[in-house]
Chains A and B, each alone.
Chain A
C-alpha cells in the first residue's frame, strides 16, 4: 500500500475517488431521489455554467465582487497602515484610539451591517463600508505590531547616524515592519473577499457572486448557486496563490521565510 501511495499518479487517482463518488451520488439524487428538485443534475450545472459564462453575466459578477474586495482592501488597508503606524509611533493616539478600536473589533464585522444600513441605506455603499472595515483590522493590527516591535538596535543605529524622524520611518521602521504589513494585507484581502460575498448575500444590493447566489436561492436555482460557489472557490484559491507569490517576491531580501 505504502509503495502505491508514494506514486504520484496513484495518489491523484485515489484523491479522485471521493469526489467521483460524491458526484455520482449527487447525480442519482438529482435524477431520481425524493428531493430531486433541490438537487440540480450535473449536465444542467454545466449547461448553466456555459450559459452564464457565454452571456457575460458570470464575468460581470466576478468583476463586481472582485472590485468590491479590492476597493475595500485599498481603502481599509490604507487606513489600517496609516492609523497603525500613527498609533505605534505616537503613544497618546494609541491610548485614545486603542480601546475604542478593540471594542469595535469585538463585534462580528457583519454585525455592523444593520447599523451601516440604517446610516447609509441598504445599498452598495453599505456593503463597501463593511468590506473596508473587514480589511481594515488585520492590516491595522499587524502594522502596529510590526512598527511597535522593531528591534531596538536598528533604532539605535539610526540615532547614531542622526536620522530625522522621516528618515527613521522610511529607512528603518517601514522596511522592518514590511513583512508583518504584508501578512496583514494578505489577511485583509482574504477577509475583504469573504466580507464581499457575505454582505452581498445578506444585503443583495448591486451585482456580484453573492447577489447572484441570493437571487438564485429565492428562485430555487441550485444550478446557478453551484456555478457561483465553484467560481468563488476558484477565485479565492487564485487570490491566495497570487498574494503568496507577490509576498515572496517583495520579501526576497529576507534570508529565511517568516
Chain B
C-alpha cells in the first residue's frame, strides 16, 4: 500500500491542485502512523505487520526471483488474453454496428450473455478447460471482450451518417473509408472501452488466480494466506495495487495522446 499511495500524483487524488509536498504529507504520515501503531504493540503481529516488514517481504521475494516470476506470469496472461478479447470485441462491435442484419442476428444473444458477471463463468470454464493456462487466458479474453464490443458498437454507430454519404460521393474505397473516416471517428469511444476492458481483465485475472493457479500475483496472495504470512499477503496487495494503478495510468496516457487532435 505504501508505494501505491506515494505514486499517485496529486491531480489523481480526490482533492485538486495542491502542491506536491502537502500531497505527499498525508500518505507519508499514514505510513508512519501504521509503523508506529505496529511497533507500539496495539496490533499483534498475527494481525498487522508494520510497513517495514512488508518492504522486507517484497525485497526477499524480489531477491529470490519469485516476485518477478509471479508478476511475469500474471502479465503474460493479461497481455495474451486482453489482445485476443479486445480484437474479438473490436471485430464483433464493428460488425453489429455496420450491418443491421448482423445486429438483429447477434445482439440479443450478446446482450443475454452480457447479463452474466464474467466471474460467474469461472466454474463452467474450469470444467471445460481445466485450471491451466488456457482457462486463465480465456477468462481474461472474455472480461475484455464485452466492454470493447459495446464501446466499439457505440463508437461506430455514433459516426454521423452524413460522413458516409460524403464518402460515397467521393467514391471512397473501403480501406480508406475504414482507415480515414471510421477509425478516427470511433477512436475515442473505442479507447475508453479498451481502458475499461483492461481494468476489468486485471480484476478478473486476480480473482481467477486466487481460485486456481500455480503462479501469479493472486496465487502468491492466496499461498500467503494459507501459510499465515501477513507480510506476503500485504506485499501482494501492494504489488497488485501498483500494477492496477500503472495499467490505468498507461491506458489514460494513451487515450489522451491518441485523442489530442480533438482538443486542438
Report which A residues bind B (CB closer than 8 A): 1-2, 5, 10-11, 14-19, 22, 35, 38, 87, 91, 94-96, 98-104, 106-115, 117-119, 141, 144, 193-194, 197-198, 201-202, 209-210, 213-214, 216-217, 220, 222, 225-226, 228-229, 232-234, 236-237
In the assembled complex, which residues on chain B have CB atoms less than 8 Å from the CB atom of A197? 117, 119-120
Cβ-based interface call for B88 (8 A): no
B13 with A107: CB separation less than 8 A: no
CA distance A197 to B202 in the complex (A): 17
State how many angstroms separate the Cβ of B44 from the closest Cβ of chain A.
12
Quick one: closest A residue to B112, CB to CB?
A233
CA distance A65 to B258 in the complex (A): 42
Partner of A110, one of B127, B128, B203, B230: B203
B26 with A18: CB separation less than 8 A: no
In the assembled complex, which residues on chain B have CB atoms less than 8 Å from the CB atom of A225? 123-124, 127
In the assembled complex, which residues on chain A have CB atoms less than 8 Å from the CB atom of B108? 15-16, 18-19
| 29 CB < 8 A contacts A-B | A10-B104, A14-B104, A19-B109, A19-B112, A96-B29, A99-B8, A101-B14, A106-B245, A107-B240, A107-B244, A110-B203, A111-B217, A111-B241, A114-B225, A193-B117, A197-B120, A198-B117, A198-B119, A201-B120, A201-B207, A202-B210, A202-B211, A213-B120, A213-B122, A214-B123, A217-B123, A222-B124, A229-B121, A232-B117
Closest 4 CB pairs between A and B?
A: A217-B123, A114-B225, A15-B108, A103-B5
CA distance A194 to B117 in the complex (A): 6
Known contacts A100-B27, A119-B47, A201-B120, A111 near B127 by CB under 8 Å: no
Cβ-based interface call for B81 (8 A): no
Cβ-based interface call for B83 (8 A): no
In the assembled complex, which residues on chain A have CB atoms less than 8 Å from the CB atom of B248? 106
CA distance A25 to B117 in the complex (A): 24
A115 with B234: CB separation less than 8 A: yes
In the assembled complex, which residues on chain B have CB atoms less than 8 Å from the CB atom of A107? 1, 4, 237, 240-241, 244
Quick one: closest A residue to B116, CB to CB?
A233
B109 with A22: CB separation less than 8 A: yes
Cβ-based interface call for B40 (8 A): no
In the assembled complex, which residues on chain A have CB atoms less than 8 Å from the CB atom of B27? 99-100, 103
B127 with A102: CB separation less than 8 A: no
Cβ-based interface call for B17 (8 A): no
Quick one: closest B residue to A18, CB to CB?
B109
In the assembled complex, which residues on chain A have CB atoms less than 8 Å from the CB atom of B13? 98-99, 102
Partner of A108, one of B117, B120, B240: B240
In the assembled complex, which residues on chain B have CB atoms less than 8 Å from the CB atom of A228? 120
Known contacts A225-B123, A225-B124, A229-B116, A103 near B241 by CB under 8 Å: yes
Cβ-based interface call for B39 (8 A): no
B15 with A98: CB separation less than 8 A: yes
Cβ-based interface call for B75 (8 A): no
In the assembled complex, which residues on chain A have CB atoms less than 8 Å from the CB atom of B1? 103-104, 107
In the assembled complex, which residues on chain A have CB atoms less than 8 Å from the CB atom of B26? 95-96, 98-100
B123 with A100: CB separation less than 8 A: no
CA distance A111 to B1 in the complex (A): 12
Quick one: closest A residue to B222, CB to CB?
A114
Quick one: closest A residue to B5, CB to CB?
A103
> Taking each of B5, B108, B123, which has the highest tally of chain A beta carbons within 10 Å of its own beta carbon?
B123
Known: A103-B241, A110-B206. 13 other contacts (CB 8 A): A1-B101, A15-B108, A18-B109, A95-B25, A96-B30, A104-B1, A106-B248, A114-B236, A144-B14, A213-B123, A217-B127, A225-B123, A228-B120
